[in-house]
Amino acid sequence: MDLLNTLVDKGLRRELPTREEALAVLATSDDDLLEVVAAAGKVRRQWFGRRVKLNYLVNLKSGLCPEDCSYCSQRLGSKAEILKYTWLKPDEASKAAAAGVAGGAKRVCLVASGRGPTDRDVDRVSETIEAIKEQNEGVEVCACLGLLSDGQADRLRSAGADAYNHNLNTSEGTYGDITTTHTYADRVETVHQAQAAGLSACSGLIAGMGESDADLVDVVFSLRELDPDSVPVNFLIPFEGTPLAKEWNLTPQRCLRILAMVRFVCPDVEVRLAGGREVHLRSMQPLALNLVNSIFLGDYLTSEGQAGQADLDMIADAGFEVEGAGTTTLPAHRAESGGGCGSHDGGCAPCGEAPGEAAPGSPEVPAARTDLVAVRRRGAGTDLAPNA
């Protein structure tokens, strides 16, 4: 297929595809899916080999968020029956992080619900970062605390944070349809603050909220321009009790096409398969490893993932290997440019769990698989062992 040959050549040169080419990837048929995966896989292997980076989420403060993000189980007015608790103590968070590191995670993502941290919150998280670093030498720490105020990114960097996650989530044109309590520009500004402080920027998207193909391409092109080091791709988890509970728009095949498009647009960036992969990719998760070079291990913020050992078995069975702590994730040209992780000689996470109408020409909307949405009841904030 001429389109795929062109995209592979561009990806190997780190050249931006055209919008028309990106849209064409999303419009390919299921009959062409394996060719699309194979083509994007060539680009993935050029920059990341067969390594898979493992990341582990620690939900420092769960639920009771004042923001109204429609996709989020922790949002204002959410009726989702999730765990709700206030800040974990540094030793509790460090213990949770250690479970992920023991399972093979190279990066720990510290996430807290809320609009953004107070200065006291930054102090709490700084203590937590220091505790994790003290007990887990070499681990990367990414913070995801919402919108940052002046100076807070610098303080997190001084405490030892390696990265900061703040997702764009969807296109600028549709952002107001999913959130009204802050703006798309607010999110962009927070990513810029993290970059200015020397933190490795992590920013991604959520697919499956009813967006069009054009919306998906818009947000991925915006991410390319923003130039984060890692791009997490979340697939909406339609929690009962949230405004998007009835949005079941994704098939495994569409998820793979989305991941391939992201890889072609962001060829040398850490593309992370994030929330919702078990719900929407299901038995086709191993194919996605040909497109992404990073996944979350075990559970997410408020939902359960598949067993941590199942993640490790999947990686091995698919012919990939877990990236070691001594390996720099990013290609040399990115790591040496001041971006990082390898930023300091080495995202994150969705603001909750991972928005309109099905894209023109897309297959019939699949049946809801509510049986695959399991609320997290173990790990951080509970007395039960974490899944790692």
Catalytic annotation present for 109: yes
DSSP for residue 200: E
| DSSP one-letter code for 80 | -
Question: Active site includes 255?
Answer: no
Catalytic residue, from 109, 144, 266, 341: name it: 109
Within its chain, how far is the Cα of 104 from the centroid?
A: 18
Spot the catalytic one: 44, 75, 202, 263: 202
Active-site pick, 65, 144, 266, 351: 65
142 is catalytic: yes
**Cα–Cα nearest to 328, from 198, 259, 229:** 229
Cα 48 from Cα 46, distance rounded (Å): 6
CB atoms within 10 A of CB 379: 22
Q: 224, 254, 272, 376: which one is catalytic?
A: 272
| Residue of 124, 142, 351, 376 marked catalytic | 142
Per-residue 3-state assignment (H helix, E strand, C coil) for 364-386: CCCCCCHHHCCECCCCCCCCCCC
272 catalytically annotated:
yes
CB atoms within 10 A of CB 86: 11
Strands 270-273, 321-322: pairing is unpaired
Indicate if 65 belongs to the active site: yes
Residue 266 annotated in active site? no
Dihedral sign for Cα atoms in the order 57, 61, 62, 63: negative
Q: Which of 44, 69, 254, 348 is catalytic?
A: 69
Just list the catalytic residues. Answer: 65, 69, 72, 109, 142, 202, 272
